[in-house]
C-alpha cells in the first residue's frame, strides 16, 4: 500500500468534507435551493477577496478568468502595461497580444520582483495607458510582487485600472482588494480555495466597471455584464458547475471558521518552515528574500544532480508529488507546494521524502536535518 501526497501549488489537496459535499446528488440550478447556495458563496468569496465590490464566478481554470479580464476591460489597440517576472506574467503578455492590445512590456528576471517605480514611470510617461497587469504570487518562481504599492500608484490615474492575478495569492497572502485599490483580482479553485480544478472567481471594482462599459473586444461566455446581471437575479447566465459551487461553499465555510487572518498566518508559518528545512539541507532558495510568497517554495537543484529525477523519485518511490521547474527552469529548480489544505505534517512529509530522495541521488544530506529545522519553526510559531 502506498499513500499519495499532493504537494504541488495547484491542483492542491481537497479536504474530505469538501469532497463529500460534492458527491451529493445534483440539484437543478434554476431553483431557490441553488440560488441560496450561490448567493451565500458569493458573499463568502467577498470575505476572502476582502472586497465589498462585485465578485463573479466562471466555470473555467484560472486562465479563463485572466482572458475574461482582457476581453471585458479593453478595446483593440488599447495600451496596457504588463509587468512580468515568470510564466504566469508571460501569460498576461500573450493574452494582451492575442487580443490586439498595445503592450508596454516590463519584463524582469524570474528571480526578481516587479519594481513598482517602473510602473509609476510608465504611467507618468504615457497618459494613454488604460491598464496595468501584475501577478501577485508568481507560482513559477515563488516570487511575491508588491501589489499594494502598485495599487497606490495606479489609483491616482483615473484612466488606468490595475488587474491582479492573485491565483495563488488569495488565501495564502494578504490581498486586500478594496483597501489596496486593486480593480480586478482573480483566483482559481484548484489553488488556495481547496477545490478541484474547474472554477475561477474575479472581483471587479467600480473603476473597472467604467472600463467594461467602454470595452469593444468581443465576448460571450465570459461577459462580465451578463454575469453581474444574472447574479442580480440570484442565478448564472449558463449552467454553472453545480457540484463545484457546492464544494466551494463548504471550502469557504472552513476558511471562515479558521478566520482569514489565521489562514494567511498558517501559510506564512508553513512557508517559513519549508524554507528552513531546505536551507538546513544545504539547498538554495530560488526566490529573493525581499519577495517570497507563501504558496510555493522553489529550490535550486544542487550542482551535479539530475533535476528531473527529484520530482520523479519523490513521486514514484515515496508517493509525494511535487512540481518541477517550468520553461527555462525545467530541470534546474523544483517547487514544493504548501497552498490551501496544508498543515505542519504535510511539510514534514515533503521534507522527509526530499531528504530520502537527495540521499538516493548521492547528494550529501544528514537524514532528519531538514525535518528538525522545520519542527523548530513550528515550535516557535504554533499554528
Ligand atoms: C495556476 C495559475 C494560473 C492559472 O492557471 P490554470 O492552469 O489556467 O488554472 C494563473 N496564474 C497563476 C499565478 C497561477 O498559479
pLDDT cut 70: percent of the chain above it? 100
Provide the mean pLDDT of the chain.
98
131 strand-pairing partners = 80, 161
The per-residue pLDDT for 5 is 98
Q: Could you tell me if the CB of 61 is within 6 A of ligand 1? A: yes
Whole-number pLDDT of residue 285:
98
Report pLDDT for 161. Answer: 99
Q: Which residues contact 366 (CB under 8 A, 6 or more apart)?
A: none
For residue 291, the model assigns a pLDDT of: 97
For 125-140, the pLDDT digits (tens) are 999 999 999 999 999 9
Q: Which ligand 1 atom minimizes the distance to the CA of 136? A: 13
Residue 209 Cβ < 6 Å to ligand 1: no
Q: Is the CB of 10 under 6 A from ligand 1?
A: yes
Atom of ligand 1 nearest to the CA of 190: 9
Work out which ligand 1 atom sits closest to the CA atom of 295: 15
Q: How far apart are the first and last CA of the chain?
A: 31
Cα 275 to ligand 1 centre (Å): 23
Q: How far apart are CA 203 and CA 45, in angstroms?
A: 9
Whether 2 shows a pLDDT value over 90: the answer reads no
* Cα 140 to ligand 1 centroid, rounded to whole Å: 9
Q: Is 62 in the pocket of ligand 1 (CB under 6 A)?
A: yes
* 335 Cα: distance to centroid of ligand 1 (angstroms): 15
Is the model's pLDDT at 235 over the cut of 90? yes
Kindly state the helix (H) or strand (E) to which residue 104 belongs, with its residue range: strand 102-107
Top pLDDT among 119 and 1 is at 119
Residue nearest to atom 3 of ligand 1 (CA): 62
- Ligand 1 close to Cβ of residue 12 (< 6 A): no
Q: Ligand 1 pocket, 166 CB below 6 A?
A: no
Q: Report residue 269: phi and psi, to 5°.
A: -70, -40
User: Cα 331 vs. chain centroid, distance in angstroms?
Assistant: 23
Q: Can you list the alpha helix ranges (DSSP code H) found in the chain?
A: 16-22, 32-49, 62-73, 87-98, 116-125, 147-154, 206-214, 224-232, 242-258, 260-280, 309-318, 344-360, 369-380
Q: How much is the CA Rg of the chain, to the nearest whole Å?
A: 21
Banded pLDDT at 118 (limits 50, 70, 90): very high
Q: How far is the CA of 138 from the centre of ligand 1 (A)?
A: 9
Number of H helices, E strands in the chain: 13, 14
Looking at the predicted structure, is the pLDDT value of residue 292 above 90?
yes
Tens-place pLDDT, residues 320-348: 999 999 999 999 999 999 999 999 999 99
pLDDT at 154: 98
Residue 1 has pLDDT above 90, yes or no: no
Question: How far is ligand 1, taken at its centre, from the CA of residue 124, in Å?
Answer: 30
The rounded Å distance from CA 61 to ligand 1 centre is 7
Minimal-distance CA residue to ligand 1 atom 5: 62
Amino acid at each position: 500500500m502506498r499513500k499519495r501526497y499532493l504537494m504541488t501549488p495547484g491542483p492542491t489537496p481537497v479536504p474530505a468534507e469538501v469532497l463529500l459535499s460534492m458527491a451529493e446528488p445534483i440539484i437543478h440550478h434554476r431553483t431557490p435551493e441553488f440560488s441560496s447556495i450561490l448567493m451565500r458563496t458569493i458573499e463568502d468569496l467577498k470575505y476572502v477577496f476582502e472586497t465589498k465590490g462585485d465578485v463573479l464566478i466562471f466555470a473555467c481554470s484560472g486562465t479563463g478568468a485572466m482572458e475574461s479580464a482582457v476581453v471585458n476591460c479593453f478595446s483593440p489597440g488599447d495600451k496596457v502595461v504588463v509587468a512580468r517576472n515568470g510564466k504566469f506574467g508571460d501569460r498576461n503578455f500573450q493574452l494582451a497580444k492575442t487580443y490586439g492590445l498595445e503592450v508596454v512590456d516590463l519584463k524582469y528576471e524570474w528571480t526578481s520582483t516587479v519594481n513598482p517605480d517602473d510602473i509609476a514611470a510608465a504611467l507618468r510617461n504615457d497618459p494613454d495607458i488604460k491598464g496595468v497587469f501584475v501577478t501577485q504570487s508568481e507560482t513559477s518562481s515563488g516570487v511575491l510582487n508588491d501589489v499594494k504599492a502598485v495599487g497606490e500608484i495606479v489609483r491616482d490615474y483615473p484612466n488606468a485600472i490595475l488587474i491582479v492575478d492573485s491565483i495563488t495569492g488569495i488565501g495564502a497572502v494578504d490581498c486586500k482588494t478594496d483597501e489596496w485599490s486593486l480593480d480586478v483580482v482573480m483566483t482559481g479553485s484548484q489553488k488556495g480555495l481547496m477545490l478541484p480544478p474547474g472554477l475561477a472567481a474575479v472581483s471587479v471594482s467600480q473603476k473597472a466597471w467604467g472600463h467594461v462599459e467602454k470595452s469593444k473586444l468581443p465576448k460571450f461566455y465570459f461577459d462580465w455584464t451578463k454575469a453581474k446581471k444574472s447574479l442580480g437575479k440570484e442565478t448564472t447566465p449558463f449552467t454553472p458547475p453545480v457540484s463545484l459551487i457546492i464544494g466551494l461553499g463548504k471550502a469557504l465555510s472552513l476558511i471562515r471558521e479558521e478566520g482569514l487572518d489565521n489562514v494567511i498566518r498558517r501559510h506564512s508559518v508553513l512557508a517559513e518552515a519549508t524554507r528552513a528545512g531546505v536551507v538546513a539541507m544545504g539547498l538554495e532558495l530560488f526566490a529573493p528574500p525581499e519577495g517570497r510568497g507563501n504558496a510555493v517554495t522553489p529550490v535550486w537543484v544542487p550542482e551535479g544532480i539530475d533535476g528531473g529525477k527529484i520530482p520523479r523519485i519523490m513521486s514514484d518511490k515515496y508517493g509525494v508529488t511535487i512540481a518541477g521547474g517550468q520553461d527555462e527552469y525545467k530541470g534546474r529548480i523544483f517547487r514544493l507546494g504548501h497552498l490551501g489544505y496544508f498543515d505542519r505534517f504535510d511539510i514534514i512529509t515533503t521534507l522527509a521524502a526530499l531528504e530520502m530522495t537527495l540521499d538516493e541521488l548521492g547528494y550529501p544530506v544528514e537524514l532528519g536535518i531538514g525535518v528538525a529545522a522545520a519542527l523548530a519553526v513550528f515550535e516557535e510559531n504554533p499554528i
